[in-house]
Structure 1
Amino acid sequence: MTASQSGDFGSIPIVDIRPMFDTKDHDGALRVAGEIRKAAVEVGFFYISDHNIPTDLLRAVYMCAKYFFRLPEEIKKSISINEAHRGYVAFRQTVLEGSRLADLKESFNFAYPFPPDHPEVLAGKPLVGMNQWLPREDTWRSILESYYRHVFELGQRVLEGIALSLDLKRDFFRAMYKNPLVRARLLHYPPQSPDALAGQYGAAPHTDFGCITILWQDDVGGLQVRNRSGEWVSAPYMDGTFVVNIGDMLARWSNDLFVSTPHRVVNASGQERFSIPVFFDPDFDTVVECLPNCATQDSPPKYEPIIAGDYITAKYDASYAYRQKKQTA
C-alpha cells in the first residue's frame, strides 16, 4: 500500500477539468472522473485547473472582497446576517465543533437568488431567503452575482465528474440543484500576532458540512489539510486553480467511499488573507441516502436517509452565535 492509498498524503493532487466543459470529449471526461475519484477516496481534497472562469472576474471579486471588509463597521453591520444566512458576520461569531475559541475571521455571505414570491421562500424554509446587498453599490453586486453564476456552473461540472466516477449518469446530480443551498462567502482573516492565544485559528480544524466546497484563495497561504497520520499538509495558492474538497454530506452519501478531510486556516503570514469558498449543496428537500454503486454485500449502507436542508441547518445552528442567541431568546 502506498502512502497516498493509506491517506498519508504529502501534497494535494491537481485535476485538469477542461474536458468536463466539452460534451464531445467523453474519454477526457472519464479521465477527469478517474482522477477525481482517486483524490476523493485518498485525500478528500484536490485542485482544479482550466476551470473556465475568467481571470479578470477573479481579480474583480478579490477587489470586491477587499473593498467590503475595509468599509466602516457600521456599514458592514447594516447588512448583518439574516435568518437565511445571507449578509455580514462579524469577527468571532463562528465556533466550529470541538473548538474552544471562535474563529478569527469575518465574512459576507450570499447565495442562490430566490425571488421573494418563490414557494420555498413563502414556505419559510431555513437558509432560503433574500440576499442582502449594500445600497448604491450596483457594480460590486453585479461582480459578485456574476462570480456566483460562473462558480455555480463549475460546480455542476465537478459533480458530473463525481457522478461518472461512481458509474452514474453524467447529469445524475443536476436535477437536485434547481433551488439549491449553494452559498458563497467572502472571507477576511486578519494577520495573527506571534503571541496570539494558543488554539486561536483563522478557522479551527473542521470538516465541511455539505456536499463539495469550491475555494478560491489569495497568495498569502494558511490553508492546511490533515492526513490520516495526523500531519498538517499545506494547500498553498496555485495560480489559476480552485481548491475542491469533499464535505461530510457527500462522504455520507457515498457510504464513506469519499473522505471528508479535516482542515484549518493558520494565518501566520503577517498579512491579511482573503478567500472565497462556495458551499455547493443541493435543494433543501434532497434525500441523501447511499448512492448507487457505493454499497456492497460486504459494505452495506451505513447511514439512515436524511434531508439535505435539515442536515445543513442543524450544523449552522450549532456553529453560529447569532443562531444560538435566537434559539435561547
Structure 2
Amino acid sequence: MASSSLREFQSVPVIDVAPLFDGSDAAARAVAAEIRRSAIEVGFFYVRSHNVPPQLTRDMLAAAKAFFARPDPEKRRIQVNTAHRGYVPFAQTTLGRAYKPDLKESLNFAFPFQAGDPYLADGKPLIGLNQWPDDEPDLRCTAETYYAQVFELGQRLLEGFALALHIERAFFRDLYRHPLVRARLVHYPPQPAGAGTGQFGAAPHTDWGCITVLWQDDVGGLEVRNRAGQWIAAPPIEDTFVINIGDMLERWSNDLFVSTPHRVVNESGRERYSIPVFYDPDFETVVECLPNCSGPGNPPRHPRTIAGEYITAQYDKAYAYRQKA
C-alpha cells in the first residue's frame, strides 16, 4: 500500500541522465534507481544532460511558430491522414465526454518511412508517410533532425527503465524497429475569458503508450495530478525534457510504474508551444506483465494487448476525423 508521501507529491523531480550515454554500469544503475523511484511515486520526471542540442530545440520552435502562423487553408493542404500524420485543426481532439474539444492545433509526424518500404504493405493503422508543406523544406529538415535526436534519447531512457525494472538493459531496443514513435508540434492559444469548466488546452488524461518525451516552451500550463487529487504544476525548466510513463509501461510493470493523469491549462495570456514525442514500440509488440513484476499475491492486473491495436483504439475514440458521422 502506498504511503501518504507517495500519494501527495508536490513537485516533479529532475534527473541527470548523462550516465545513460557515457557512464559506467554502476553510474547507469544509479540513474535507473532515480528513474524507478520517480516512476513509482510520481509517474513524471524531468531529464537534463540529454544530449539534444539546445539550438535544435530553438530551431524546432521557430519552425513550429512559422507553420502555425500560416493561413488556415495552407495548413489544411496537409490535413491529417489515416496514419495520423499531418495537420490537425482546432477542436479535433476530445479526451473524455466530460470535456470540450481541446483548444489546440498540431502538426504530427512519425517514423520516416519511405515510399515502397515493405512494412507499409500491410496497411497497419498509424503506419504511413509523413506530410510536409511543399514550400517549407526547412520545416521538414529540422523536424527530421529533431526526431532522430529525440529517438536516440528515448532509446537511452528505455535502457534506464529496463534497469529500473531489473530486466536486460537492451530489452526494449528490439521493439523499436518500425516504431509508433510519433512527434507532435502543438500550438495552444491563450485560454479565452469565460471559457468555463470543461475547456482545456489538453483535458485531463493519461498517455496511451510507453513513455512520452516532452519539450515545452517558457509559458507553462502543464499540470500533473497527484494521488491526493491535487493538480501540481510542472513548470518549464531550461534545457530539460519532461518524461512521463504511459499506459503500456504501467501494464508492463503491473501497475508498479504509474501512468499519471495530466492536463494543460494555458492561462498565461500568451501563445504556448510544446513538442511531445510519444515514444511507443512497433505496432505488433505484445504488451503484458513482465515475469518479474508479478508473483504470489500479485497476479497480472491487465490482459495481454497489442501495442498498435491499443493505441489505434484510443485514437479512434479521441479524434473527430476518425469517427463516423
* TM-score band w.r.t. shorter chain: over 0.9
- 1:180 counterpart SS class: coil
How far has the Cα of 1:271 moved from its partner? 0.3
Q: C-alpha offsets along residues 107-154 of structure 1, whole Å, 9 cap, x if unaligned?
A: 000000112222221110000000000103222210100000000000
Tell me the residue number matched to 1:262.
261
Tell me the residue number matched to 1:209.
208
Distance in 2 of aligned mates of 1:267 and 1:218: 12
The aligned amino acid for 2:167 is L
Tell me the residue number matched to 1:236.
235
Higher mean Cα deviation, 112-121 or 262-271? 112-121
- 1:4 counterpart SS class: helix
Tell me the residue number matched to 1:86.
85
- 2:323 counterpart SS class: helix
Contact 2:109 2:130 in 1 (8 A): yes
RMSD over equivalenced CA pairs, Å: 1.1
- Using the size of structure 1 for normalisation, the TM-score is 0.96
Q: C-alpha offsets along residues 251-291 of structure 1, whole Å, 9 cap, x if unaligned?
A: 11111011011000000000000000000000000000111
- 1:187 counterpart SS class: strand
Tell me the residue number matched to 1:314.
313
How far has the Cα of 1:183 moved from its partner? 0.1
Distance in 1 of aligned mates of 2:198 and 2:171: 41
Distance in 2 of aligned mates of 1:292 and 1:69: 46
Task: After the TM superposition, list the runs of 4 or more consecutive aligned residues in structure 1 that deviate by more than 3 angstroms.
Answer: 1-4
- 2:278 counterpart SS class: strand
Show the 5 A alignment for 1:264-303: 264-303=263-302
Q: C-alpha offsets along residues 158-192 of structure 1, whole Å, 9 cap, x if unaligned?
A: 10000001111111100000000000000000011
- 2:296 counterpart SS class: coil
Distance in 1 of aligned mates of 2:291 and 2:50: 28
- 1:113 counterpart SS class: coil
Distance in 2 of aligned mates of 1:11 and 1:38: 14
Distance in 1 of aligned mates of 2:5 and 2:139: 42
Contact 2:220 2:236 in 1 (8 A): yes
How far has the Cα of 1:196 moved from its partner? 1.6
Tell me the residue number matched to 2:220.
221
- 1:315 counterpart SS class: helix
Contact 2:217 2:272 in 1 (8 A): yes
Distance in 2 of aligned mates of 1:322 and 1:138: 27
Higher mean Cα deviation, 157-166 or 189-198? 189-198
Tell me the residue number matched to 2:145.
146
- 2:224 counterpart SS class: strand
Contact 2:183 2:277 in 1 (8 A): yes
- 1:318 counterpart SS class: helix
Distance in 2 of aligned mates of 1:183 and 1:224: 22
Identity among equivalent positions (%) equals 60
Show the 5 A alignment for 1:173-188: 173-188=172-187
The aligned amino acid for 1:142 is C
Tell me the residue number matched to 1:115.
114
Contact 2:99 2:203 in 1 (8 A): no
- 1:110 counterpart SS class: strand
- 1:37 equivalent in alignment to 2:29: no
Tell me the residue number matched to 2:13.
13
Contact 1:190 1:273 in 2 (8 A): yes
Q: C-alpha offsets along residues 67-117 of structure 1, whole Å, 9 cap, x if unaligned?
A: 110001011000000010000000010000243310000000000011222
The aligned amino acid for 2:5 is S
- 1:46 equivalent in alignment to 2:45: yes
Distance in 1 of aligned mates of 2:159 and 2:256: 17
Distance in 2 of aligned mates of 1:89 and 1:311: 21
Tell me the residue number matched to 2:102.
103
Contact 1:4 1:43 in 2 (8 A): no
Contact 1:11 1:235 in 2 (8 A): yes
How far has the Cα of 1:25 moved from its partner? 1.2
How far has the Cα of 1:235 moved from its partner? 0.1
Distance in 1 of aligned mates of 2:24 and 2:14: 19
How far has the Cα of 1:2 moved from its partner? 5.7
How far has the Cα of 1:304 moved from its partner? 1.8
Tell me the residue number matched to 1:59.
58
Distance in 2 of aligned mates of 1:98 and 1:43: 26
- 1:196 equivalent in alignment to 2:191: no
